[in-house]
Structure 1
Amino acid sequence: MKTLLQIILTGVIVLVLSNILGGVYVTDFFTAIVVAALLALLNIFVKPILLILTLPVTVITFGLFLLVINALIILMADGLIGGFSVDGFWWALLFSVLLSILQSLIFVVAERPRK
């Protein structure tokens, strides 16, 4: 149940960011949910492989290369989903940074115990 809630909240964030950022386009809410689910799957299966392959560069850049890996995962999702479009690498980088920040904030608030 927690994972489903996180995917729905991420879908809402994706939809909001697509309305704010000029280089990111999502056709509807269902597509945003699909983007959120695909990003979760790509982060589970593809990101560890990319981390291992780029470990020396990641260590040399003190972890900043992880931002590039996140942008590449966003671009992979762009290629796999028809109703989702990102105009280029820099838009994907900005989108991934904002998505990570907003996910962190919203998930902390959502998981806070009620009194």
Structure 2
Amino acid sequence: MLRFIVRVGINAVALWVASWLLPGIEIGSEAAVEASGNDAVGNVLSYSFVGLIFGLVNALVRPIVSLLSLPLTILTLGLFTIIINAAMLMLTSWLTSFTPIGFTVNDFFWTAILGAIIISLVSMVVGAVTGTKR
């Protein structure tokens, strides 16, 4: 259970870095800030919630998509994995559109692909530092 909580935290940090570096990725909502009464606490709750959804999407949907796209991934020597990661980011954006937490990715091609690369790199580095590699 602790490993799962650490993974959600790593996802939240990776999403924060991606939203900080890319203007097309935005996380946060007025509802979370109003509920907590504090901007910092509301932002942490927002990033944690989106990190949880992103982790669930990666745990449940990504293995199926990866298996179905295996021939294309082999044909592109693994580069199609970046497209799969971007699609999981867009799916997370779509799923959180039904919640009060606002998470948006403006453009699939550049913003989602660059966001997926940034999130993968940050997750890899933070996971290596904390000892919770995927």
TM-score, normalized by the shorter chain, greater than 0.5: yes
CA offset digits 1:14-62 (Å, max 9, x no partner)? 1232122111000132221122111111111111111122121111101
Mapped to 1, the partners of 2:23 and 2:82 lie a distance apart of: 20
Corresponding residue for residue 12 of structure 2: 11
Corresponding residue for residue 25 of structure 2: 24
Q: AA paired with 1:59? A: I
Range moving further from structure 2, 24-33 or 8-17: 8-17
Question: 1:12·1:29 contact (CA, 8 Å) conserved in 2?
Answer: no
Counterpart check, 1:85 vs 2:104: yes
TM-score using structure 1 length = 0.88
State the SS of the aligned residue for 1:85: strand
Q: AA paired with 2:21? A: I
Runs (5+) with no aligned partner, structure 1: none
Corresponding residue for residue 100 of structure 1: 120
What is the 5 A alignment of 1:44-59?
44-59=59-74
Mapped to 1, the partners of 2:69 and 2:3 lie a distance apart of: 31
Q: AA paired with 1:104? A: M
TM-score using structure 2 length = 0.76
Runs (5+) with no aligned partner, structure 2: 29-42
State the SS of the aligned residue for 1:62: coil
CA offset digits 1:54-73 (Å, max 9, x no partner)? 12111110111111011000
What is the RMSD computed on CA atoms of the aligned residues?
1.6
* Higher RCO structure, 1 or 2 (CA under 8 Å, sep 6+): 2
Q: How many residues align?
A: 112
Q: What's the % identity of the aligned pairs?
A: 29
